[in-house]
Chains A and B, each alone.
Chain A
Amino acid sequence: MPVPGDNANSAPTARLAPAGSRDRMTMAEAIIASHTLDPVIPGAVCQVRVDFAFANDITAPPAIEEFKKMGAARVFDPERCAIIPDHFTPNKDIASAQQAKRAREFARVQGIKYWEVGRVGVEHAFIPETGNALPGEIIIGADSHTCTYGALGALGTGMGQTDLAAIWALGETWLRVPETLRVMLRGTPSRWIGGKDLIIHLIGMIGVEGARYMSLEFHGDAIAFLSQDDRFTMSNMAIEAGAKCGIFVPDDTTISYADARHARDFTPVYPDEGATYARTVEIDVSSVEPTVALPHLPGNSKKARDCASIEIDQVFIGSCTNGRVRDIEIAANMLAGRSVHDRVRLMVIPASYEVYNEALDRGWIRIFTEAGASVCTPSCGPCMGGHLGILAAGERAVSTSNRNFVGRMGHKSSEIILASPAVAAASAILGRVADPREILGDDCPPLEEGVPNE
């Protein structure tokens, strides 16, 4: 199957690019070229127009401070700016309530996009749902997992609150044009393999700084088997390999997702055939097994079945990595008619109300509560040590989130093992790290909406 980049002799895509730019462009180069007047060459610094810029309840208050220090009166465009209160919400204490209040008041005064608790979701699940991240766009968030939007063929990347404040003021920022690392995903994934297994596998291969300052660009015939939600999971963790962004080339799945939700007009961008990649990594997805990342780095990848002796105290299913419909569905299928292990606490946190309502309608919430799980309102929850499931000294969790750094989810002696929703649910049942095939075999029926590889 021909893939973009395979044929160096064909013509580049017709596009207007600043003089001095590369003729044939990768996704990241092509998206930057459509947003700048500066020559687009890896390593060069370009001043780019930003399509959407947001902060959360932790990063908004200091961004607001910087915005004021800059002497800015109004944001560049209220329709392209947002604050998403998702980290310490519903507010866990007085200090976090004060922060959320400052964010809320700024949003109201500026007229920027803001959704209140009870309507909002975890930012990187919610922003795409509301059509505020679209193919071909540059999206900057004061949150490192803004790279999630690469799943829609956008260049999403995280920055700090001062950079974000500058974008709110000017509508633009500087970007160093990244080199691109091409990831070729070939073959057919087996029944229990999803985006989480593939991205942990990749980070295990290239290391937690294997793509530092680079753009990951996903190609290959295996992508046709990955749902939009699986792609969000993969792009979400590009930062865990040090990458600036992790971008998929738009296909029918991308475009139908964006068409159904877009808050603005959008123009998809595609890479040129013959674009220059700094490096190419190949993964035969048919050989990838359910994979976990052991403490304390996302690159400590191991096959789940080789970790079956590791006992656990808690399981968290949710987050901007794996709190979407597909993830909750997989967990519910695994837990239907089964119970959470006596020794284990299972926290399920759907990442948005769209996900929560789907879980209600499909009977998944009932499956979780009957299995003995705690189900909470959309929030980042325990992922970064906020609330709703903090770990005590010496405790160990399996989590569908994206980071397993020291102390990330609680006490500095606690441990986090990163895994897919299938591995997490199977582990919750068995009270130890488990391969989903220990609960449901390879031959179990596909999920209702169809597993593409069946």
Chain B
Amino acid sequence: MSESDKKISGRAWVYGDNVDTDVIIPARYLSTSDPGLLAPHCMEDIDSSFASSAQPGDVMVAGANFGCGSSREHAPISIKASGVSCVVASSFARIFYRNAINIGLPILECADMSSPGAVAAGDVLEVDIAEGVIKNITNGRVFTASPAPEFLRELFDSGGLVPYVRRRLEMAR
């Protein structure tokens, strides 16, 4: 089963537009890239309860331009290490998008999820990554994400960039 075949279920953590990488993981913690050391500080400047309360499987839901700002891969690493299984946003900043794919954090682009009443903090969501379908179990609504470009799906399904490069280097030898 490839990464994107997984079905996910968890509670929603809901944020607004333009969630930047400085609030996802503040630079004062960038003296390390150890996921276990980054996770306790994830989102702390805008949500002090997140890091201590997030459970494995939880889903982060946000508005436009999620992950804007710096190129720090520590941002998706800290989200993934917090237990978050998937980020759903109406749009992603481009560097965060690449970084999330590279470290194997599933992300879905879905504009409808940020419409009023679509999801509230703590709602239980079920996400089918492969189909791009997000079910809000709490309110019964169903949303469909925009499909990721084929090239990126393949990259993600093959395990990400590291195995891809390893294969290329082995072929060249």
Q: Which of chain B's residues have a CB closer than 8 A to the CB of A174? A: 151
A412 touching B45 in the complex, CB below 8 Å, given contacts A212-B65, A403-B22 = yes
Contact of B73 among A70, A87, A161, A244 (CB under 8 A): A161
**Total inter-chain residue pairs, C-beta < 8 Å:** 137
Are the CB atoms of B165 and A169 closer together than 8 Å? yes
Are the CB atoms of A384 and B70 closer together than 8 Å? yes
Stretch at the interface among B6-14, B96-104, B134-142: B96-104
Q: Interface residue tally of chain A, by bracket? A: 35 or more
Contact of A160 among B69, B73, B91, B170 (CB under 8 A): B73
A242 touching B65 in the complex, CB below 8 Å, given contacts A160-B73, A160-B99, A405-B20 = yes
Docked complex Cα distance between A19 and B71 (Å): 33
Q: Which of chain B's residues have a CB closer than 8 A to the CB of A163? A: 98-99, 102, 161
Q: Which of chain B's residues have a CB closer than 8 A to the CB of A142? A: 71
Instruction: Give the distance to chain B from A62, nearest Cβ to Cβ, in Å.
Output: 4
A406 touching B23 in the complex, CB below 8 Å, given contacts A160-B102, A169-B165, A212-B94 = yes
A158 touching B71 in the complex, CB below 8 Å, given contacts A45-B151, A163-B102 = yes
Contact of B45 among A93, A96, A407 (CB under 8 A): A407
Indicate whether B113 reaches chain A with its CB closer than 8 angstroms.
no
Instruction: Give the distance to chain A from B21, nearest Cβ to Cβ, in Å.
Output: 8
A96, closest chain B residue (CB): B31
Indicate whether A78 reaches chain B with its CB closer than 8 angstroms.
no
A71 touching B27 in the complex, CB below 8 Å, given contacts A213-B94, A242-B65, A406-B22 = no
Contact of A144 among B95, B162, B166 (CB under 8 A): B95
Q: Which of chain A's residues have a CB closer than 8 A to the CB of B55? A: none
Q: 1/0 per residue A383-398: CB within 8 Å of B?
A: 0111000000000000
A69 touching B71 in the complex, CB below 8 Å, given contacts A159-B98, A297-B18, A412-B45 = no
Q: Which of chain B's residues have a CB closer than 8 A to the CB of A374? A: none
Q: Which of chain B's residues have a CB closer than 8 A to the CB of A146? A: 71
A413, closest chain B residue (CB): B45
Are the CB atoms of A407 and B31 closer together than 8 Å? no
Indicate whether A88 reaches chain B with its CB closer than 8 angstroms.
yes
Docked complex Cα distance between A414 and B163 (Å): 42
Contact of B169 among A59, A72, A408 (CB under 8 A): A72
Contact of A405 among B23, B30, B169 (CB under 8 A): B23
Are the CB atoms of B22 and A209 closer together than 8 Å? no
Docked complex Cα distance between A244 and B47 (Å): 29
Indicate whether A121 reaches chain B with its CB closer than 8 angstroms.
no
Q: Which of chain A's residues have a CB closer than 8 A to the CB of B95? A: 144, 158-160
B151, closest chain A residue (CB): A45
Q: Which of chain A's residues have a CB closer than 8 A to the CB of B162? A: 66, 69-70, 162
Are the CB atoms of A385 and B27 closer together than 8 Å? yes
Q: Which of chain A's residues have a CB closer than 8 A to the CB of B68? A: 208-209, 242
Are the CB atoms of A59 and B72 closer together than 8 Å? yes
| 340-368 of chain A: CB within 8 A of chain B | none
Q: For A142, A158, A161, which residue has the most chain B Cβ atoms within 10 angstroms?
A: A161
Are the CB atoms of A386 and B103 closer together than 8 Å? no
Indicate whether A288 reaches chain B with its CB closer than 8 angstroms.
no
Are the CB atoms of A62 and B102 closer together than 8 Å? no
Indicate whether B145 reaches chain A with its CB closer than 8 angstroms.
no
A88, closest chain B residue (CB): B31
| 67-81 of chain B: CB within 8 A of chain A | 68-74
Are the CB atoms of A242 and B27 closer together than 8 Å? no
Contact of B166 among A45, A71, A93, A143 (CB under 8 A): A71
A297, closest chain B residue (CB): B18
Contact of B161 among A93, A96, A166, A209 (CB under 8 A): A166
Are the CB atoms of B33 and A65 closer together than 8 Å? yes
Indicate whether B59 reaches chain A with its CB closer than 8 angstroms.
no
A244 touching B27 in the complex, CB below 8 Å, given contacts A61-B33, A209-B64 = no
A403, closest chain B residue (CB): B69
Instruction: Give the distance to chain B from A132, nearest Cβ to Cβ, in Å.
Output: 18
A70 touching B71 in the complex, CB below 8 Å, given contacts A162-B102, A163-B102, A407-B23 = no
| 42-62 of chain A: CB within 8 A of chain B | 45, 58-59, 61-62
Which 3 A-B pairs have CB atoms at the shortest separation, nearest pair first? A95-B31, A160-B73, A160-B99
Q: List 15 A-B contacts (CB under 8 A).
A: A61-B33, A62-B74, A70-B169, A95-B31, A141-B71, A143-B70, A158-B70, A163-B99, A166-B165, A208-B18, A209-B64, A209-B65, A385-B22, A406-B20, A407-B45
Beyond known contacts A65-B33, A209-B68, A385-B28: 5 more, CB 8 A cutoff: A71-B169, A95-B32, A159-B95, A244-B94, A384-B22
